[in-house]
Amino acid sequence: MTDLSDVKFIVSDLDQIATFEGRVAVMITPDGKMDAGARRVNRLTRGALERLMQSESWQKVKPGNVRSLQWPAGLRAIAVDVLCLKRAAPAEEARRAGAALGKLKGDSAVLVFATQLRRPAALAQGIALRAYEFLAHKTAEEKSGGPISIMVSNPAEAQAAATPLLAVAQGVFVTRDLVNEPANHLTTTEFANRINGLSDLGVKVTILEEDELEKLGMHLLLSVGHGSDSPSKVAVMEWMGGETGAAPLALVGKGVVFDTGGISLKPAAGMEEMTMDMGGAGVVTGVMHAIAARKAPANVVGLVGLVENMPSGRATRPGDVVTSMKGDSVEIINTDAEGRLVLADVLWYAQEKYNPAGIIDLATLTGAIIIGLGHEKAGVFSNDDKFCRDFIKAADQEGEGAWHMPLGEAYDKLLKSQIADMKNIGGRAAGSVTAAQFLQRFVKDDMPWIHLDIAGVARVSGETALAPKGCTGWGVLSLDRLIADHFEHS
């Protein structure tokens, strides 16, 4: 597992600035006011910061941006990173500013002078999140991970505020690591083994194997894995840190560790990216790690269906009819519409087993959501307006894009089958909506439910504000915020 850089809060000591040998970061407000650290750097460098502020480059700086001076005279530091930030910047802005520093960090140690910043913990979380690198399979590279030292007026207070934020950041790293892993390393068995590791944090983990899934009637989920030598599994993670007996929030994730499309084989171009088709399960696992690491006073259960979709003589064929755990029959029109089959059975099991207070599923489900929303926002489908508003508010507060998408009975006609209760696809029109409409058939009428289609945001081709190119870890921050705001009971 990729670990966070070591973050520590220390008492302000201006004399350390001159002798620090990594990167030194200081702050200047948008109206041009230097803090004590910036004034000390300016003096040591004989007015370099004043000249920077008079430059054309600084005139284009926006709050949260950084400008760097390399190998500054008068300091031992390899660089001075000058951050433009309000002293009372809100948490998201402070975190994004920290991410700007984290992008520059590399292997260097970092000293940040932040005595006048109101939310240094958010800044620390941002640095840690953006400094992520996935190097597990690069034999010539080993990240030394220089420490991050943040000078503040009250280190104990800042550390207390940062501890839960850094626990959530580690949960994001768990998700990124899982989604970045190639499929020959992250098999269904290896995924289950990593989930078992959550027991060290106090999470109760249960792995349901194929014989148990067969007895439960999870034939939709099992049908997806028929063509693979990797065994299908369902991993259940229970964190009961809240009121005894209180109904938990249930998180359900699609965990297709590789998706060839099955008999409905995908084109070869870009198929290597289908290692990320377990992104929903990756987010659920990261959230469970985060809430357990910060000892959240909430009851949450995470359930992920782990399968591999491969073509073979045993694979499910287009035209096959399979019966779900619920008892409904499904005509498989396209074996590449497999994620909804996995989710359908796990959704039903979650409701039968736990009768949760609400249920949220996450999946890299449709290319159609990318056509509609691009890579900026996840699609949010829900049968409960308040539940949906609560989640979108949490996503907005955490800077993770989400957009409310429609549901409606009119879309059901696209799923009608002549030989079964329903088809597994509804055609090209409204593809992400009909996928959600399919899933809703496996949600009980009185159950608050959200479906998050994260196909466009789980992995992106370029960097984001908080992540380098690759897996973003989208959803861990938002779901942790939702849990903290609406499901915690001390």
Active-site residues: which are they?
266, 340
Question: Looking at residue 145, what is its pLDDT?
Answer: 72
Question: Looking at residue 142, what is its pLDDT?
Answer: 60
pLDDT digits (tens, 9 = 90+) for 427-486: 999 999 999 999 999 999 999 999 999 999 999 999 999 999 999 999 999 999 999 999
SS3 category, 143? coil
Question: Looking at residue 489, what is its pLDDT?
Answer: 82
- Per DSSP bridges, beta strands 7-11 and 148-152 are parallel
CA distance 331 to 84: 57
pLDDT digits (tens, 9 = 90+) for 67-123: 999 999 999 999 999 999 999 999 999 999 999 999 999 999 999 999 999 999 999
- On average, the pLDDT of the chain sits at 96
CATH classification of 171-486 is 2.40.30.10, yes or no?
no
Stretch 129-137: mean pLDDT: 94
Is pTM beyond 0.85? Reply is: yes
pLDDT digits (tens, 9 = 90+) for 270-289: 999 999 999 999 999 999 99
Nearest to 443 by CA among 386, 358, 374, 320: 358
CA distance 279 to 286: 10
Stretch 339-357: mean pLDDT: 98
Question: Looking at residue 381, what is its pLDDT?
Answer: 98
Domain extents in the chain: 7-154, 171-486
pLDDT digits (tens, 9 = 90+) for 369-418: 999 999 999 999 999 999 999 999 999 999 999 999 999 999 999 999 99
H/E element, 449: strand 449-453
Cβ–Cβ under 8 Å, residues 343 and 453: no
Question: What beta strand segments (E) does 371-415 contain?
Answer: 378-382, 402-404
CA distance 53 to 194: 49
Share of the chain above pLDDT 90, in %: 96
CA distance 410 to 314: 36
Question: Looking at residue 143, what is its pLDDT?
Answer: 61
User: Taking phi first (over 0 means left), then psi (-120 to 50 degrees means alpha), and beta for anything else, what does residue 427 get?
Assistant: left
Residue with tokens 């194997």: 209
pLDDT digits (tens, 9 = 90+) for 19-59: 999 999 999 999 999 999 999 999 999 999 999 999 988 98
CA distance 331 to 424: 6
Superfamily of 7-154 according to CATH: Leucine Aminopeptidase, subunit E, domain 1 (3.40.220.10)
Helix axes of 188-196 and 279-293: crossing angle, nearest 10 degrees: 10
Of the candidate ranges 27-36, 135-144, 191-200, 242-251, the one whose mean pLDDT is the lowest: 135-144
